[in-house]
Structure 1
Amino acid sequence: MASLSKHRKVVMTALLVLVLIGSCFEMPRSYLFENRAFTTVDSVATDYVDQALLRAAASFAMARTFNGVISVFQESTLQLEPGGVGVSLALGAALDPINDLIERFSWVMLVSLTSLGSQKFLIEITPFVSVQIILAMALIVLLLGLWLPLKYRPQLTRSGVVLVVTAVVLRFAVPAMAYINEQVYVTFLQEKHDLSVEVLGRTVADLESQQLDNLLGPTEGGQQEETEGESSQDEKGIWSKTKELVNQTMSQGQRMLEAKNKIELLKKMSLELIDQIVDLIVVFVLNTILLPLIFLWAIMRFGTLLLRLLPLQHEKQI
């Protein structure tokens, strides 16, 4: 029995040393831990994160474009003078609600981009941390548990197994999270995202096509007419002046009405986007922040439950 026990220790030591060499040196590690199966998992997860990054970047760029268009309108003020009475039509008050929401959406998108960048970094760094650090530590602890006195063996063995499970869970946690998150997005969130982006893009194009300057009329022409009117003042009678003033007042009043109608149209177009922007905020908060954290927590929780199921408390002495 003693020789058998010693034989088992030698075999286990040889296996642990081989795996330790494979985790520490580049050439054997490329065959053991960086083969096609592992790299495929990482590349698929990276593709999912890259797709999410593209979606977030496109939505962020569209939001900034929309914000720029709104800002141009907010800085515009229409000066009309029907009947010689100045009227100022400012667009800022009409577009303030949607502009504030777009600002919040821009911050959400910035946080989403940061989260996705962090996920991509984790996919790249977890193979190094899990294999070359945690797994190597686990193998060393298990080797010590094999050859140190019996009183140290249970604790060292348990610690080694905990580190091994931690390395495995950590190695596949982020890729698994990326895969599950992408499936949830495709199943439940993609349709809402695509519809909201389409409506937002169409509205941005419509806003950019709106022109308010043509409602003002040529300023210089008005001044020229006024100058000509002053030069020929003696030649015109009271009736001609009155008729000219009435026509000018009606023309300016019509322009003011058209400008107000266009402002109301812009306000309506902007307010109709609130639902779509809120939907986009929900999609990106879930897809890039909340769900990844929930899935990572669930995977780590699974690893903890797995450790509890392992019969480490009553293991037999070798």
Structure 2
Amino acid sequence: MKTTKKQKTLRTIVGILVAILLFFSSGLRLPFLDATADAYFREAITKSGLAYATCRIINASVSIVKDSSLQLEPAGVGISLAVGQALDPIDDMTERLSDVLVTAITSLGVQKLAYEISVSLAPPIVSIFLFVLSILSWFENDRLKSLQKTIMRFALLIIIARFCLPISSVANESIDKNFFNQQISDTSKELAVGFAEFDKLRDFSIPEIDGILGTINNSASFLKQKTIEFNNALVLTVSNMGEIVENLLKLTFLYVGIFLIQVIILPLLSFFFLLKIINTLFGI
């Protein structure tokens, strides 16, 4: 009996001391896990933001060319060449990629916020639960024992929530380095090459001709020359359109994969993996 009381006293003292330490450890970061999580969220949000900015620039450029027309009117008589609907597939794909990127950035931001909240609030909340458990351990009432188990479950769930995102970020970083980063980089480079001729089309302009008489005399050859130049620029752009759309589609698939694997699947797997370990160790 005396031994039991000594054990309870020692357990209570240790529990209260640990609870006090945890209560004043709000924001405490673990050297490897938290550093990896911080780096992962920072890099993932930055890269997604840059990809979104690039996507919007492409979309804006396509819209300018698509909605514009080329006026060839020397001496007030000429033709109007509209780019028309040739660039619709690119416009549609950039819009879809933008939506995917916005979803991914928002989800990463929510995860980062949840992670920072867990870092700040998990230690003091667990300390309160631990303090209550240390006091309740002196009582033999069945209802209080049930309450102890319930409090312990909540405390362990908070501990799991604290560690599941840092653990999943370690896996995410490995997946990024070995799969997503290289493919996204290669696809972005191919996309930039495909848009080289598009930039020429966007910047296409017609020089002014001095003198009305000279313009009238050369109107036929002028219109022919400018029409050929415009047609060549448009043909080169349209010939690259299949590759451009393919690369935009590939980027969309890659970022959908990032969203599904890194934002949803891995955090859930980490949570259930930790939950399984806790259940095995404590049997609750």
Q: What's the TM-score once normalised by structure 2's chain length?
A: 0.86
Structure 2 partner of 1:77: 69
1:125 deviates by 1.5
How many Å separate the matches in 2 of 1:143 and 1:40? 31
How many Å separate the matches in 2 of 1:159 and 1:303? 18
1:144 deviates by 4.1
How many Å separate the matches in 1 of 2:72 and 2:164? 64
Does structure 2 retain, via aligned residues, the 8 Å contact 1:42–1:123? Answer: no
Does structure 2 retain, via aligned residues, the 8 Å contact 1:145–1:157? Answer: yes
How many Å separate the matches in 2 of 1:140 and 1:254? 86
Query: RMSD over aligned Cα, in angstroms?
Result: 2.7
Residue aligned with 1:213, SS: coil
1:208 deviates by 2.6
Does structure 2 retain, via aligned residues, the 8 Å contact 1:192–1:279? Answer: no
Does structure 1 retain, via aligned residues, the 8 Å contact 2:34–2:166? Answer: yes
For the pair 1:117 / 2:88, whether they are aligned, the reply is no
Does structure 1 retain, via aligned residues, the 8 Å contact 2:89–2:245? Answer: no
Does structure 1 retain, via aligned residues, the 8 Å contact 2:100–2:252? Answer: yes
Structure 2 partner of 1:253: 224
In structure 2, relative to structure 1, the CA distance for the partners of 1:312 and 1:119 (3 Å cut) is closer
For the pair 1:126 / 2:118, whether they are aligned, the reply is yes
How many Å separate the matches in 2 of 1:287 and 1:263? 35
Q: Which has the larger radius of gyration?
A: 1
How many Å separate the matches in 2 of 1:213 and 1:144? 82
How many Å separate the matches in 2 of 1:303 and 1:12? 25
Structure 1 partner of 2:85: 93
Structure 1 partner of 2:14: 15
Residue aligned with 2:81, SS: strand
Task: Output the amino acid matched with 2:234.
Answer: I
| Displaced runs of 4 or more, over 4 A | 310-313
Task: Output the amino acid matched with 2:2.
Answer: S
Task: Output the amino acid matched with 2:208.
Answer: P
Structure 1 unaligned segments of length 5 or more: list them. Answer: 230-243, 314-318
Does structure 1 retain, via aligned residues, the 8 Å contact 2:164–2:274? Answer: no
Does structure 1 retain, via aligned residues, the 8 Å contact 2:197–2:237? Answer: no
Structure 2 partner of 1:51: 43
Task: Output the amino acid matched with 1:72.
Answer: I
Does structure 1 retain, via aligned residues, the 8 Å contact 2:108–2:263? Answer: no
1:296 deviates by 1.4
Residue of structure 1 aligned with 2:275, choices 275, 280, 304: 304
Cα deviations by residue, 1:263-308 (Å, 9 ceiling, x for unpaired): 1222223332112112212222222454321111112212332344
How many Å separate the matches in 2 of 1:97 and 1:162? 53
Cα deviations by residue, 1:220-264 (Å, 9 ceiling, x for unpaired): 54x3436xx7xxxxxxxxxxxxxx5xx643442343233223212
For the pair 1:218 / 2:222, whether they are aligned, the reply is no
1:110 deviates by 1.9
1:117 deviates by 2.0
Structure 2 partner of 1:152: 143
1:154 deviates by 3.5
How many Å separate the matches in 1 of 2:169 and 2:282? 31
Residue aligned with 2:80, SS: strand
Does structure 1 retain, via aligned residues, the 8 Å contact 2:23–2:124? Answer: yes
Number of aligned residue pairs: 282
Residue aligned with 1:88, SS: strand
In structure 2, relative to structure 1, the CA distance for the partners of 1:294 and 1:19 (3 Å cut) is same
Does structure 2 retain, via aligned residues, the 8 Å contact 1:16–1:139? Answer: yes
How many Å separate the matches in 1 of 2:38 and 2:89? 37
How many Å separate the matches in 1 of 2:253 and 2:229? 37
Residue of structure 2 aligned with 1:192, choices 166, 183, 196: 183
Cα deviations by residue, 1:89-116 (Å, 9 ceiling, x for unpaired): 2113111110121122122222222222
How many Å separate the matches in 2 of 1:311 and 1:183? 31
Q: Which stretch of structure 1 is more off in the superposition, 42-51 or 279-288?
A: 279-288
Structure 2 unaligned segments of length 5 or more: list them. Answer: none
Task: Output the amino acid matched with 1:192.
Answer: Q
Structure 1 partner of 2:165: 174
How many Å separate the matches in 1 of 2:171 and 2:2? 49
Between the aligned residues of both structures, percent identity stands at: 26
1:146 deviates by 0.6
Q: How does 1:21-32 map to 2 (within 5 A)?
A: 21-25=20-24, 29=25
Task: Output the amino acid matched with 2:123.
Answer: V
Does structure 2 retain, via aligned residues, the 8 Å contact 1:131–1:167? Answer: no
Q: What's the TM-score once normalised by structure 1's chain length?
A: 0.78
